[in-house]
Amino acid sequence: MPHFKTSDGLNLHYTDQGAGLPILCLAGLTRSGRDFDFVAPHLHEVQLITLDYRGRGASDWANDFTTYAVPRETQDAIELLNHLGLEKVAILGTSRGGLNAMYMAATAKTRLLGVALNDVGPKLEQAGLDIISDYLGRRPAAKTHAEAAEVLARTAVGFANVHPSRWLEQARILYQEHPDGLHLTYDPKLRDAVIEGFKNAGDVDAWPLFDALHGLPTALIHGANSDLLSRETALEMKRRMPNLHLTHVPDRAHIPFLDEPESLVTLSAWIREMKDGL
C-alpha cells in the first residue's frame, strides 16, 4: 500500500487511481479513504486520490493526540500534494474533510481547483456534535459486521430506502472484525482531541472559512435530514455564494453516501465547471 512520510515523521496511507482532473477525497472525522468506495465507480476521467488521516485507517497513529486537528490534517494533505507533484487539486470533503477543505481555502487557496462539501458547513448543529461526542472513541457493542449492520439499519435516524447490503458494506468499512469483537479503525485518542476542540468551538466564527471559497467552483451535498448541517445553514451558504451547486438529498441524514442520484448530478456539474475552466 502506498504511503508517504509527513514532515513530523508519520507514514500516511493514500490511494491514487485514474487520470484526468485531480480530486483529493478527504474523509469524515473517524473515517478513512474508504469513505469514498461508493462514489468512486461513478467518477470518470478523474485522478481520484484518497488519504487516510493520521490516526485513521492504514496510517500511523500520532504520539501527540493534539495533532489530530484541522490545521495539521490540512498540512498533511498539502504534503501529500507535494509528494505527488500536484500543484492544484479539487477536494471532495465529507464532514471533517470539508472543514479541512475550507481551512485550506483560507490558508492555501492557490492549491485548490474547487471544493465539494458533503454535509458540512461553517455552522454545525449542537445535536449532531453531541451524537459524535457520545460514540467517539468507543468500540461498538456489536461483535460482528453482521450485527453492526443490523444496529446501523435500526439506529440510522433520518435514513430511508437503504438496502441491508449497504449497511453491511458500511459496517465493514467502519470496523475491523476480530475474535474478541469489532475494533475501531482509528486511534481512540481522537476522542480526546475532539473533546478538547469542542471546548472552544462555540467561540469560533467559521463563516470566513466558507467565504474563502469564493471564486472557486463549489458544491454542497446536504443530507435533507441531517442533524449536523441544518437546511437554514445550507440555504445561507447558497445565499452567500449564488453559484454554489446545492442539492438536498432526500432520505439521507449525516452523511449521504454520495452515490445517490442527486449527489451524482451535483458532483457531475461541479466537475464539469472545473473542467470548463481549465
Q: What is the CATH number of the domain that holds 19?
A: 3.40.50.1820
Q: What is the pLDDT of residues 146-189, one digit of tens each?
A: 999 999 999 999 999 999 999 999 999 999 999 999 999 999 99
Q: Would you say residue 1 has pLDDT above 80?
A: no
**Euclidean distance between the first and the last CA atom of the chain, given in angstroms as a whole number:** 32
pLDDT-derived band of residue 278, with 50, 70 and 90 as boundaries? confident
Domain count of the fold of the chain: 2
Instruction: Check residue 72 and give its pLDDT.
Output: 97
Q: Which structural domain range is residue 114 located in?
A: 3-137+189-277
> Is residue 249 located within the same domain as residue 268?
yes
Nearest to 55 by CA among 108, 20, 96: 96
Return the DSSP state at 56: B
- For residues 115 and 69, membership in a common domain is answered with yes
Query: Quick one: 116 and 229 in the same domain?
Result: yes
Same domain assignment for residues 54 and 174? no
Q: Residue 275 is which amino acid?
A: K
Q: What is the value of pTM for the model shown? A: 0.96
* Res. 202: pLDDT tops 70: no
Looking at the structure, do residues 156 and 256 belong to the same domain, yes or no?
no
User: 19 and 98 in one domain?
Assistant: yes
Judgement on whether residues 106 and 225 belong to the same structural domain of the protein: yes
Phi then psi dihedrals of residue 70, to 5 deg: -55, -50
Closest-CA residue to 96 (of 34, 137, 127, 53): 53
Q: 45 and 151 in one domain? A: no
> Which cell goes with 251?
432520505
pLDDT at 133 > cutoff 90? no
